[in-house]
Amino acid sequence: MNVAVRTAPTAQQGSEHFDVLIVGAGISGIGSAYHLTTQLPGTSFVILETQESFGGTWLTHRYPGIRSDSDLYTFGYRFKPWVGPPIATAEEILSYMKEVIDENDIEEHIRYRHKISSASWSSETNLWTVEAVRTDTGEKKTFTANFLWMCQGYYRHSEGYMPEWKNMDKFKGRIVHPQTWPDDLDLTNKKVIVIGSGATAATLIPAIAGECARVTMVQRSPTYFRLGRNAIDIADTLRQLQVNEEWIHEIVRRKILFEQDAFTKRCIAEPEKVKKELISQITAVVGPDYDVATHFTPKYRPWRQRIAFVPDADLFEGVKSGKATVVTDEIECFTEKGLQLKSGKTLEADVIVTATGFNLCALGDIGFVIDGKPLDFADTVTYRGMMFTGIPNMVWVFGYFRASWTLRVDLVGDFVCRLLAHMKEKGARRVEVKLRPEDHNMPLLPWLDPENFNPGYMMRSQHMWPRRGNKPEWQHSQDYWAEKDEIPAINIDDAAFVYR
């Protein structure tokens, strides 16, 4: 593939052609565009984005208090220093992304309100044909591209996951999902129930506790949290010493990553000890008389599900002050006035917020077709969670759950640029991954190992995802500390890569 060519003679009439087509203008899409412009200048590319602006997750979620649950030194890109407090609001993340877009002239490459409906690969032309619909005019647009860089995230942005509870329609108040937070919702003096115990509930509750009459968190089972100041001492000290921000960014990233690695290893080596430490942080805030055993003691091993960071313990300060209440129980059904719980208890509410998570969606709800045959993504085997057998010229950025997602945006960015440069050098127009003869007897397993990481939203959709093998190169290990060395060292001339 000649990555500098702007028009392809084989592209369809009436379509626009690009060397690379990036799907999505979230933190992955913008980071990928940065790597492409800086590492392979002259490559023609377009970013297609359904929404009216960039940001992805940070644009979609507009509920009160929306903030990151991991630090921005590592959730930020490696190339753009983060200069604010480590836990950031959606607005702060969007301003950071805007600076990256402006500083690197990325805006001119983004087409907003373009929802991609299909992507078809032709082995005859070695091109992708991508169909998009303009969400404002309904106009259909066709693009062709040599390479697809999938940065569409992992969940459906248009609607959150809402379980079906009995009698939901009987409830006289309002039911709201945080992913589609209504602009007109006024919670002043309202009785609010928040269903869920994850990062969203933990963020939302302290943000609304001051204005509503009462907020109750209803959880089936507790979740782990880490508490701490929303500040990083070493960053503050280095700033006092007038060390430049590039250095501070790098030093703080290394410190955080080093500590996270140690923490992850401890969670596996001594889970009971870590569990006690995490819970005792909470007891120290809510006090010894609070029933921490029932409400804040999870049943699973730490790190089998994402652990949200709660800055300044705000959720637990709210519980201690009585502004927020926690109920650990199961929902029997909705009633006209609120909830009936399995224990027999009833709760009244004017508004019920279902902080129940996402609808996972593989490949952005795009219908993929390979040489005329619809693709079943679950039939493929993944190469390090980036490439997939049977899908040529395509890479997906699927980040980390245990470390910041964006760490992988940078690693995959380097990999894709290296791969594209290699194709140009070889004069290849097509690359795909293929199981080697020695891989043929390898067991093929579900995408995630539930022993390792098992949040409900991933478990309920495992059947939709590609399979993994039992060798490091045929799985997404979710291990940044191994991949930071392994991905740059991938031998792209290995027999697993087939070029034509």
Determine if 223 is a binding residue for ligand FAD (CB under 6 A). no
Shortest Cβ distance from residue 404 to ligand FAD (Å)? 4
The DSSP-derived string for 432-445 is EE---GGGTT---B
* 81, 399, 413, 466: residue in contact with ligand FAD (rule CB under 6 A): 399
Determine if 274 is a binding residue for ligand FAD (CB under 6 A). no
Shortest Cβ distance from residue 358 to ligand FAD (Å)? 7
> Toward ligand FAD, which CB reaches closer, 61 or 476?
61
Shortest Cβ distance from residue 116 to ligand FAD (Å)? 4
* 405, 415, 447, 497: residue in contact with ligand FAD (rule CB under 6 A): 405
Shortest Cβ distance from residue 341 to ligand FAD (Å)? 26
Name which of residues 197 to 216 contact ligand FAD (CB under 6 A): 200
Q: Which stretch binds ligand FAD (CB under 6 A): 37-45, 122-130, 148-156, 422-430?
A: 148-156
Contact present, 352 and 363 (Cβ < 8 Å) = no
Alpha helices for 50-198 (secondary structure H): 57-60, 72-75, 90-103
Shortest Cβ distance from residue 43 to ligand FAD (Å)? 20
> Toward ligand FAD, which CB reaches closer, 68 or 328?
68
User: CA-CA distances (angstroms) from residue 422 to 351, 382, 429, 490?
Assistant: 56, 21, 11, 13
Contact present, 120 and 369 (Cβ < 8 Å) = yes
Determine if 351 is a binding residue for ligand FAD (CB under 6 A). no
* 76, 81, 86, 153: residue in contact with ligand FAD (rule CB under 6 A): 153
Contact present, 120 and 144 (Cβ < 8 Å) = no
Determine if 338 is a binding residue for ligand FAD (CB under 6 A). no
* 44, 152, 393, 461: residue in contact with ligand FAD (rule CB under 6 A): 152
> Toward ligand FAD, which CB reaches closer, 219 or 340?
219
> Toward ligand FAD, which CB reaches closer, 401 or 474?
401
Contact present, 474 and 324 (Cβ < 8 Å) = no
DSSP assignment, residue 360?
B
Q: How many CB atoms lie within 10 A of CB 289?
A: 7
| Chain centre distance of CA 167 | 32
Shortest Cβ distance from residue 367 to ligand FAD (Å)? 10
| Chain centre distance of CA 128 | 25
Determine if 119 is a binding residue for ligand FAD (CB under 6 A). no
Which helix (DSSP H) or strand (DSSP E) does residue 28 occupy?
helix 27-39
> Toward ligand FAD, which CB reaches closer, 21 or 326?
21
Amino acid at 241: L
Site string for ligand FAD, 159-198 (x = CB under 6 A): ----------------------------------------
* Cα 253 from Cα 262, distance rounded (Å): 14
* Cα 402 from Cα 410, distance rounded (Å): 16
Q: Which stretch binds ligand FAD (CB under 6 A): 284-292, 320-328, 358-366, 474-482?
A: 358-366
DSSP assignment, residue 135?
T
Angle 38-39-41 (CA atoms, 0-180°, nearest 5)?
Answer: 65
Which helix (DSSP H) or strand (DSSP E) does residue 419 occupy?
helix 406-426
Determine if 478 is a binding residue for ligand FAD (CB under 6 A). no
Name which of residues 17 to 46 contact ligand FAD (CB under 6 A): 23-29
Determine if 50 is a binding residue for ligand FAD (CB under 6 A). yes
> Toward ligand FAD, which CB reaches closer, 254 or 342?
254
> Toward ligand FAD, which CB reaches closer, 24 or 222?
24
Contact present, 8 and 144 (Cβ < 8 Å) = yes
Shortest Cβ distance from residue 26 to ligand FAD (Å)? 2
**Helix 271-286 crosses helix 245-269 at what angle (to 10 degrees)?**
110
Query: Both tokens of residue 240?
Result: 């006092």
Amino acid at 49: E
Dihedral angle sign, alpha carbons of residues 405, 410, 415, 416: positive
Determine if 56 is a binding residue for ligand FAD (CB under 6 A). yes
DSSP assignment, residue 466?
P
**Footprint of ligand FAD (CB under 6 A):** 23-29, 48-51, 56-57, 61, 68-70, 75, 115-116, 151-153, 157, 200, 364-366, 397, 399, 404-405
